[in-house]
Chains A and B, each alone.
Chain A
Amino acid sequence: MITIYHGVRPALPQEACCQRLGCEGPPSQSWNWRASPLWVAGKASGGDTVCCLVHGRYHGLYRRALEGIASLFGISVSWVNTDALLWQEFENDFAGFLSLMLFNYFPEIPGGRVRRSIDLWIRLRVLNQQEERR
């Protein structure tokens, strides 16, 4: 099974991947997401391959193309939309929403407290998320 954490920008899906794989500290900055939007992060403890996808405003296109290719080869893929899950979390929390926006666009800026909060939200909402419906 391949699990793809995807989003409009790289910060949230990348953070989700690292949480899933149990990485220590912030994720590696060496991934050139503009040239290669799909990043194979590694294998999780359960044997799933964990990937990170940055699709910008072409969510539907990437989803259809990659699912289509996966189905041709009989590959099982699970999709988790990190943006949608975390926006739902902060529907009524303006401060939380601002922190999330800051982290999404400038991941290197937030300090330890904001980053710990985001890590906790990712663990609670994203990693426990069942496969999203299309």
Chain B
Amino acid sequence: MPDYRLPSYEEFTTLPYYDRTDPNQVGDPYLMGCDEHGNKIYFMGLWSQRQNLMVSMQSLLDAAGVERSQYFLQDAFPLINFSTKIGGLLSKRYRLTSLGRKITVWGMRRQYWRFVEMVTEVKNKLDSNRDFDRQLRIRTP
């Protein structure tokens, strides 16, 4: 999605998986693609258990010896506004898909620049980690 303009309704609804994931599959990671540095980007729905699950996922990866620098977990839920929640409810629980999608997209467009800001912050953190790793490799022969 562009970071210099507000996307249209069609650009949202034609996103892969947008409002199309099965509620019985909530929790599965979905691959969206790779960013400009080759990092794979996934999204996961975690319902009301997102904080507990994020801690659990980190514990599992720590137990398996996966370094925390190899992944980044970002909670996007705080940016979901009331309109988007209501639209999601109408679409998923009450099967009013057409109305629900219009409301979710309306809500997302209102919050769009905050999402852009969040993604920019994540990219900056990843860039600074990458620079730090590079410097560490240079210093340690």
Chain A residues proximal to chain B, CB less than 8 Å:
2, 35-40, 49, 51, 53, 58, 60-66, 68-70, 72-73, 75, 77
Contact = CB atoms under 8 A, between A and B. Distances in A.
B14 to A, nearest CB: 25
Interface of B: 24-29, 42, 44, 46-47, 49, 52-53, 55-57, 59-64, 66, 70-71
A60 B27 contact: yes
B129 to A, nearest CB: 18
5 contacts: A36-B59, A38-B55, A62-B49, A65-B44, A65-B57
B109 to A, nearest CB: 29
Nearest to B50: A65
Contacts of B29: 65, 68-69, 72
A82 B49 CA distance: 21
Given A51-B63, A65-B44, A37 B27 contact: no
Contacts of A36: 52, 55-56, 59
A65 B27 contact: yes
A73 B27 contact: no
A34 B49 CA distance: 11
A64 B56 contact: no
Contact of B60 (A35, A38, A58, A64): A38
A132 B97 CA distance: 37
Contacts of A53: 56
A35 B46 contact: no
A113 B60 CA distance: 35
B26 A61 contact: yes
A69 B46 contact: no
Closest 9 CB pairs of A and B: A64-B27, A38-B56, A65-B27, A68-B29, A61-B27, A75-B64, A40-B63, A38-B59, A69-B57
A73 B61 contact: yes
Given A62-B49, A62-B53, A73-B64, A40 B27 contact: no
Contacts of A73: 61, 64, 66, 70-71
Given A36-B56, A53-B56, A68 B64 contact: no
Given A37-B55, A61-B49, A69 B26 contact: no
